[in-house]
Amino acid sequence: MKAWTAALLVAGSAACTAPAFADWEYAKWGMTPEQVASASQGAVKVIPPGQRKRIEDIKMENGAEGSYTDGVLRLHVAFSFDTGGKGLVAVGYDVSDAAQNGLLKDWLVKRHGQPQNKTGIPAIGLETWFWDKTDEIEMNISEGTSAFVLRSKAPLNQCRVSRRCFDSSLPGSFASY
């Protein structure tokens, strides 16, 4: 069983003016879990309502998950939905092993250009990249672990990643496998 090691924290205001890019690969912001699964052509499965992980504080739940492949890059993907009926609002994905971290970095730069900000905590081997020209995109890599990316619809209260929602060992986690 694999635990996701990144998550959402709400920060900033809801009055963000950045326009949403409106999609991630085959998924469009606002889609239902069923629409995301259908658009994936079988790569994503809907999580039954009784098995979904919710975070009441930010009114989100996971609703679908699966895989995505682009050449040799293989990702596990989880789709998060607004519990108020606004549909898809965030996509989290990670590589299957740390050996693919470089591929993921290259893939993100190819699609979004260089990150607007790079930060981290070198003393503990943490590296974080941010893009926010359109959607909020954040990649976290801890030395020796698989990279994790969270892409959220802007505005989503300026999401930033921490280690809560996708870590199955913590209450309120989005992790489902």
**pLDDT tens digits, residue range 24-59?**
889 999 999 999 999 999 999 999 999 999 999 989
Average pLDDT, integer, range 5-24: 35
Single pTM value for the model: 0.75
Q: Residue 167: what are its φ and ψ, rounded to 5°?
A: -100, 110
pLDDT of residue 108: 95
The three-state secondary structure class of 37 is helix
Asked if the model's pLDDT at residue 132 lies above 90, the reply is no
| Lowest-pLDDT range of 55-64, 94-103, 161-170 | 161-170
59: number of CA atoms within 13 Å, CB side? 10
Lookup: tokens for 6: 């990144």
Please tell me which residue, 109 or 175, carries the higher pLDDT value.
109
Please report, as a single letter, which amino acid is at residue 141. I
- Per-residue pLDDT of 75-119, as tens digits, reads 999 999 999 999 999 999 999 899 999 999 999 999 999 999 999
The full set of domain ranges for the chain reads 7-162
- Residue 174 and residue 166 in contact, taking contact as beta carbons nearer than 8 Å: yes
Mean of the per-residue pLDDT values for the chain? Answer: 79
Give the containing element (helix H, strand E) for 23.
strand 23-24
Query: What is the C-alpha separation between 90 and 148, in angstroms, rounded?
Result: 13
Does the CA dihedral 115-80-153-57 come out positive or negative? Answer: negative
